[in-house]
């Protein structure tokens, strides 16, 4: 038997209904903040991620699905979408469009990680990018947007963590201090940290190995190495968040896992997700556009929500309820079945969900109506068609009434 590829999964009803609810809530919030949708290809040139995300990141060095095309070019299934959105921004000269470019996306990403709860090799992200301004006000609005999406999806009790990783100049000074400190302690840390201590010291702070955390906590804080402009930018971001009454915790070791981040970084965690509790993360990426070939600066900030984890958190709350079936029609006989098929089409135009039974036995159809949690059931025989008497049953109250066709349509319309 052929099964789904390891780390990839089928999303089945009723869970798929929760996914639709979450995405609909996100789209409504994006509309309120004047974000418009962008859809980028699943496949990109490998160089986009190697240059944009960083060759020393785990994503590029260990996790990407990369292959040679027939023309010899190297292609990669997108492991994240910020680089793709910036590529589209540069390629299509969106900097020529009026105002800040505020874009959102919803779709699958691919990384060959070890599958675990809430983490898959094909996973989904809901993300946003605001490109064209380096204002701390834009940073705060992006964080406000992320919080609003979680709240619209029914999530509460989450924690917002923020930090600044500074500009390239501040980070260079910090990296020197970090590398010097790691020379003494890196041998006591995990294999990845020992490697990162040489190639990219900042990545050590992103380590999740429990045994390494006490060592990481004693390492220098990047906040002590920020220059005046970086400190002022971070102060104003916090000021804008305070004005919005958005509660946050400053986490000096929060660096995120991608090389393009600078200045503001943030993450939101939720207790319902267990050890891997991050539900979204993001930050500012001034300079990324130039890294992938743009001659025009395009400062920006964005975030991505792990939709798999968000849906899991929504399901854990028990607040999500997929809409029930509005009407189950039980036709008694072939003539009634033909009549009911046409009637169902008329009722569906009222934006109501309708299922027409095809079983020969009324008892089995009524049992199915119950299992489908139908709000109403319509039992219709050949004689009922002739007499225009439609027997409608309210499944919650047990009330049953006989209506004309016009009255039936009106009744369902007003109770839909």
**Tens-of-pLDDT digits for all 416 residues of the chain?**
999 999 999 999 888 999 999 999 999 999 999 999 999 999 999 989 887 777 666 677 778 889 999 999 999 999 999 999 999 999 999 988 888 999 999 999 999 988 777 788 999 999 999 999 999 999 999 999 999 999 999 998 899 999 998 888 888 888 888 888 888 888 888 887 888 887 778 778 877 788 888 888 888 888 988 999 999 999 999 999 999 999 999 998 887 656 678 899 999 998 755 555 889 999 999 988 888 888 888 999 999 999 999 998 888 877 666 678 999 999 988 888 999 999 999 999 999 999 999 888 889 998 999 888 999 999 988 888 888 888 899 988 989 999 988 899 998 888 75
Closest by alpha carbon to 330, among 301, 356, 292? 356
CB 384 within 8 Å of CB 337: no
Q: Residue 286 and residue 298: Cα distance in Å, rounded?
A: 7
Q: Which residues contact 25 (CB under 8 A, 6 or more apart)?
A: 149, 152, 153, 154
Q: What was the pLDDT predicted at 97?
A: 86
In eight-state DSSP terms, residue 290 is: H
Strand partners, 304: 127, 281
Q: What was the pLDDT predicted at 203?
A: 78
Q: What was the pLDDT predicted at 321?
A: 67
| CATH fold group of domain 15-166+246-317 | BirA Bifunctional Protein; domain 2 (3.30.930)
Where, residue-wise, is CATH 3.30.930.10 in the chain? 15-166+246-317
Where, residue-wise, is CATH 3.40.50.800 in the chain? 327-414
CB 283 within 8 Å of CB 130: no
Q: Which residues contact 406 (CB under 8 A, 6 or more apart)?
A: none
Q: What was the pLDDT predicted at 272?
A: 59
Closest by alpha carbon to 272, among 337, 307, 223, 316? 316
**Long-range contacts, stretch 312-319, CB < 8 angstroms, 24+ apart:** 312/117, 312/118, 312/272, 312/273, 313/155, 313/270, 313/272, 313/273, 313/279, 314/18, 314/21, 314/22, 314/153, 314/154, 314/155, 315/15, 315/18, 316/272, 317/154, 317/155, 317/156, 317/272, 319/154
Q: Are strands 66-68 and 74-77 parallel, antiparallel or unpaired?
A: antiparallel
Q: What was the pLDDT predicted at 186?
A: 80
Say what the pTM is: 0.86
Tokens coding 194: 């020992």
Tokens coding 84: 């793709």
Q: What was the pLDDT predicted at 320?
A: 62
Q: What was the pLDDT predicted at 276?
A: 58
CATH class of 327-414: alpha beta
Q: What was the pLDDT predicted at 123?
A: 94
Strand partners, 306: 125
216 alpha carbon, distance to own chain's centre: 29
């Amino acid at each position: 038997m052929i099964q789904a590829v390891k780390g990839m999964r089928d999303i089945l009803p009723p869970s798929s209904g929760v996914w639709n609810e979450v995405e609909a809530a996100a789209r409504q919030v994006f509309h309120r903040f004047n974000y418009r949708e962008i859809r980028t290809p699943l496949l990109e040139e490998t160089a986009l991620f190697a240059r944009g995300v960083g060759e020393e990141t785990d994503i590029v060095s260990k996790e990407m699905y990369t292959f040679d095309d027939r023309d010899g070019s190297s292609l990669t299934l997108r492991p994240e979408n910020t680089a793709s959105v910036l590529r589209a921004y540069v390629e299509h000269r969106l900097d020529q469009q009026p105002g800040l470019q505020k874009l959102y996306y919803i779709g699958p990403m691919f990384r060959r990680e070890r599958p675990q709860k809430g983490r898959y090799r094909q996973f989904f992200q809901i993300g946003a990018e605001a490109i064209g301004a380096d204002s701390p006000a834009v940073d705060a609005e992006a964080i406000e947007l992320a919080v609003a999406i979680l709240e619209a999806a029914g999530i509460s009790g989450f924690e917002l963590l923020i930090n600044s990783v500074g500009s390239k100049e501040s980070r260079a000074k910090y990296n020197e201090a970090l590398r010097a400190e790691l020379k003494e302690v890196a041998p006591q840390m995990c294999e990845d940290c020992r490697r990162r201590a040489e190639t990219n010291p900042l990545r050590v702070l992103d380590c999740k190995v429990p045994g390494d955390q006490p060592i990481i906590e004693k390492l220098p804080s990047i906040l002590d190495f920020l220059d005046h402009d970086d400190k002022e930018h971070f102060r104003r971001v916090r000021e804008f968040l305070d004005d919005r009454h958005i509660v946050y915790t400053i986490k000096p070791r929060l660096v995120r896992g991608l090389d393009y981040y600078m200045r503001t970084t943030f993450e939101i965690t939720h207790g319902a997700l267990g050890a891997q509790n991050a539900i979204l993360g993001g930050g500012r990426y001034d300079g990324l556009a130039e890294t992938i070939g743009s001659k025009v600066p395009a400062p920006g900030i964005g975030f991505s929500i792990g939709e798999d984890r968000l849906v899991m958190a929504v399901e854990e709350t028990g607040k999500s309820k997929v809409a029930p079936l509005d009407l189950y029609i039980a036709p008694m006989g072939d003539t009634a079945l033909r009549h009911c098929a046409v009637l169902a089409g008329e009722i569906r135009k009222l934006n109501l969900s309708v299922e027409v039974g095809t079983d020969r036995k009324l008892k089995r159809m009524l049992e199915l109506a119950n299992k489908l949690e139908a709000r109403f059931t319509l039992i219709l025989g050949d004689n009922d068609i002739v007499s225009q008497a439609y027997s409608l049953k309210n499944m919650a109250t047990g009330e049953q009434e006989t209506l004309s066709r016009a009255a039936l349509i009106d009744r369902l319309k007003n109770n839909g």
